[in-house]
């Protein structure tokens, strides 16, 4: 598996849901300017693939990836659109095989110890922990660090500016995923300056010694 830039570029991975592809480039530029170069565009809207293409083509400072991958077809479409990393909320053997064959870094989603062990058995050491807060939060991840120190995580789901440092302080957390720096009202108003400021605040979070 390629080494993942996702866990090491910044303490926070923005998780972006784009309704209008025209917003993709200015939004990505604001995040990059604020110090968050790795951007996960989720495949939750019809505009997602067009957004991926636009960002990969027009924002050279961005390391743009695709999230909410559910099928091997999603992997193929994301790569064709320019995705440089892949993220899934969970995994199956078929989906994992497609991600492993993609040639780009990937973060398959886990929420149980057995899923983590199964991925380690398959040579995967970097994972998304989702839904982080609902699945046990920092206490759960801290409990995994002892018996499974080789696993590193990007916890996502219910994390905000106040709880992110608690996750980042854990030895097995590389970065956290979140969308608090992309408030819906700021996107609707196309207030890219506000998003850049929120991104800068997120980029300045303590990295707990595991993120850059």
Q: Which residues are catalytic?
A: 40, 128
Using CA atoms, how far residue 182 sits from 55, 94, 124, 170, 179, in Å, is: 16, 32, 30, 25, 5
Q: Hey, which residues does 177 pair with through a beta bridge?
A: 13, 156
What is the spatial distance between Cα 204 and Cα 193, in angstroms, rounded to a whole number?
A: 17
Structure tokens at 49: 């693939």
Backbone angles phi, psi at 211, to 5 degrees: -110, 155
Cβ–Cβ < 8 Å for 177, 156: yes
* Angle CA 12–9–112, to nearest 5: 55
Contacts of 14 (CB under 8 A, 6+ apart): 31, 36, 38, 39, 40, 177, 178, 179, 181, 182, 199, 202
């Amino acid at each position: 598996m390629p080494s993942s830039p996702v866990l090491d570029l910044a303490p926070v991975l923005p998780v972006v849901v784009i309704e209008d592809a025209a917003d993709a480039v200015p939004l990505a530029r604001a995040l990059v300017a604020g110090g968050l170069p790795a951007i996960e565009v989720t495949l939750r809207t019809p505009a997602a693939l067009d957004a991926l293409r636009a960002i990969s083509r027009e924002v050279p400072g961005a390391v743009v990836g695709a999230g909410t991958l559910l099928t091997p077809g999603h992997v193929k479409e994301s790569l064709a659109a320019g995705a440089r990393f892949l993220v899934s909320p969970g995994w199956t053997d078929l989906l994992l095989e497609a991600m492993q064959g993609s040639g780009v870094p990937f973060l398959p989603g886990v929420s149980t110890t057995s899923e983590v062990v199964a991925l380690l058995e398959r040579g995967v050491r970097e994972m998304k922990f989702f839904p982080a807060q609902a699945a046990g939060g920092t206490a759960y991840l801290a409990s995994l660090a002892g018996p499974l120190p080789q696993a590193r995580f990007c916890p996502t789901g219910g994390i905000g500016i106040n709880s992110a440092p608690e996750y980042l302080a854990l030895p097995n957390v590389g970065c956290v995923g979140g969308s608090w720096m992309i408030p819906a009202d700021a996107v609707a108003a196309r207030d890219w300056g506000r998003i850049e400021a929120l991104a800068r605040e997120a980029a300045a979070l303590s990295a707990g010694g595991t993120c850059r």
